[in-house]
């Protein structure tokens, strides 16, 4: 397989070939998604709740995400790798946004970065693109600013709010974003916005008319069984499988059935004799 480029993603959009995007936060996951042949991998700031134990994405730092992103980079060859700019690392100024974006490229090998929001954030996107780093936008439900949105809830459910989503998407497109994530938007609103979009749109809880879909790996595999949003279809039950494995291990240690002879090293009898002597 050939390495996925921005050009390839635009071609896929033009041909109506669905784009598969997924998150990964570590090396073994990167190897799995590489083998599965996904198109785009995001080291999401959702690592905050999915692997770092934070209650939401707000506290995660650039340093924490860079470490996870480097681990994913080491496992990927073909997919486009997108780094997720965490809350507080790009909003203050164009200079801050450019500096953080450059770190994700130089220190973690990202092909692109993602940031949340339209409006002023579209200007940050423009600045980052002008500094040579491709930008993916993210509109609708933007978890970093969920408090301002009234919590984790679908966006664009009134005419005025739907218009705000359209305006954010148009601003990002105009600013030079190569792609935009639409999160938690009614499918009918997405359908109405799509004709205005000239770049690949990746949906998560935004219906079926987008150019691609993204899900969080830990959600689709059910690696944790915390609350999951409506859009997070469970494609596997990995937590149950992990639990089965750890339970079986603990049982066998307690019943002294593990380790068995095949898990045990041997010493030649004469050496043992000499050792004992």
Among 34, 39, 45, 211, binds Na ion (CB under 5 A): 45
Nearest approach, Cβ of residue 213 and Na ion (Å): 15
Tokens of 52: 């770092």
Euclidean distance between CA atoms 174 and 197, whole angstroms: 10
13 binds, among Na ion, ligand KIV, none (CB under 5 to 8 A by kind): none
184 binds ligand KIV (CB under 6 A): no
206 binds ligand KIV (CB under 6 A): no
Euclidean distance between CA atoms 85 and 110, whole angstroms: 11
212 binds ligand KIV (CB under 6 A): no
Window 101-130: contact mask with ligand KIV (x via CB under 6 A): ------------------------------
Alpha carbon 250 to chain centroid, angstroms: 33
Only one of the segments 39-47, 102-110, 238-246, 259-267 lies at the binding site for ligand KIV (rule: CB under 6 A); that segment is: 39-47
3-state secondary structure 135-165: EEEEEECCHHHCCCCCCCCCCCCCHHHHHHH
Q: What is the DSSP string of 242-265?
A: HHHHHHHHHHHHHTT--S-GGGS-
Q: Is 183 a catalytic residue?
A: yes
Only one of the segments 42-50, 69-77, 89-97, 238-246 lies at the binding site for ligand KIV (rule: CB under 6 A); that segment is: 42-50
Q: Would you call 207 exposed, middle or buried from its count of C-beta atoms within 10 A (0-12, 13-18, 19+)?
A: middle
44 binds Na ion (CB under 5 A): yes
Q: Of all helices (H) and strands (E), which one includes residue 274?
A: helix 269-276
- The reply to whether 188 sits in an annotated binding site is no
- The reply to whether 225 sits in an annotated binding site is no
Nearest approach, Cβ of residue 84 and ligand KIV (Å): 5
Decide whether 17 or 56 has the Cβ nearer to ligand KIV.
56
- The reply to whether 84 sits in an annotated binding site is yes
Only one of the segments 2-10, 37-45, 159-167, 243-251 lies at the binding site for ligand KIV (rule: CB under 6 A); that segment is: 37-45
84 binds Na ion (CB under 5 A): yes
Q: What is the DSSP string of 86-152?
A: PTTSSSS-HHHHHHHHHHHHHHH--SEEE---STHHHHHHHHHHHTT--EEEEEES-GGGTTTTTSS
Quick count: other Cβ atoms within 10 Å of Cβ 156?
26
Rg (CA), the chain: 23
Decide whether 88 or 273 has the Cβ nearer to ligand KIV.
88
Active-site residue, selected from the candidate residues 183, 198, 252, 270 = 183
Instruction: State the catalytic residues.
Output: 183
Residues in the site for ligand KIV, rule: CB under 6 A?
23, 42, 44-46, 84, 138, 181, 204, 214, 216
């Amino acid at each position: 397989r050939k390495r996925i480029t921005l050009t390839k993603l635009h071609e896929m959009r033009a041909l109506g070939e669905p784009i598969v995007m997924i998150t990964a936060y570590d090396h073994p996951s990167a190897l799995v998604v590489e083998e599965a042949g996904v198109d785009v991998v995001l080291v999401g700031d959702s690592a905050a709740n999915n692997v770092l134990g934070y209650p939401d994405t707000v506290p995660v730092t650039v340093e924490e995400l860079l470490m996870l992103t480097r681990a994913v980079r080491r496992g990927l060859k073909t997919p486009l790798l997108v780094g997720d700019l965490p809350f507080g690392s790009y909003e203050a100024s164009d200079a801050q946004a450019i500096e953080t974006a450059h770190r994700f490229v130089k220190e973690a090998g990202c092909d692109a970065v993602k940031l949340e929001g339209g409006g002023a954030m579209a200007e940050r996107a423009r600045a980052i693109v002008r500094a040579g780093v491709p930008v993916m936008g993210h509109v609708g439900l933007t978890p970093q600013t969920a408090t301002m949105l009234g919590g984790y809830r679908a966006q664009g459910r009134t005419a005025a709010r739907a218009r705000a989503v359209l305006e954010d998407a148009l601003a990002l497109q105009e600013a030079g974003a190569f792609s935009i994530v639409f999160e938690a938007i009614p499918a009918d609103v997405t359908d109405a916005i799509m004709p205005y979009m000239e770049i690949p749109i990746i949906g998560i809880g935004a219906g079926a008319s987008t150019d691609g879909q993204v899900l969080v790996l830990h959600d689709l595999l059910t690696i944790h069984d915390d609350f999951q949003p409506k859009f997070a279809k469970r494609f596997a039950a990995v937590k149950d499988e992990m639990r089965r494995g750890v339970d079986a291990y603990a049982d066998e240690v307690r019943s002294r059935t593990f380790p068995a002879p095949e898990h045990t090293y041997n010493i030649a009898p004469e050496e043992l004799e000499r050792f004992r002597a």
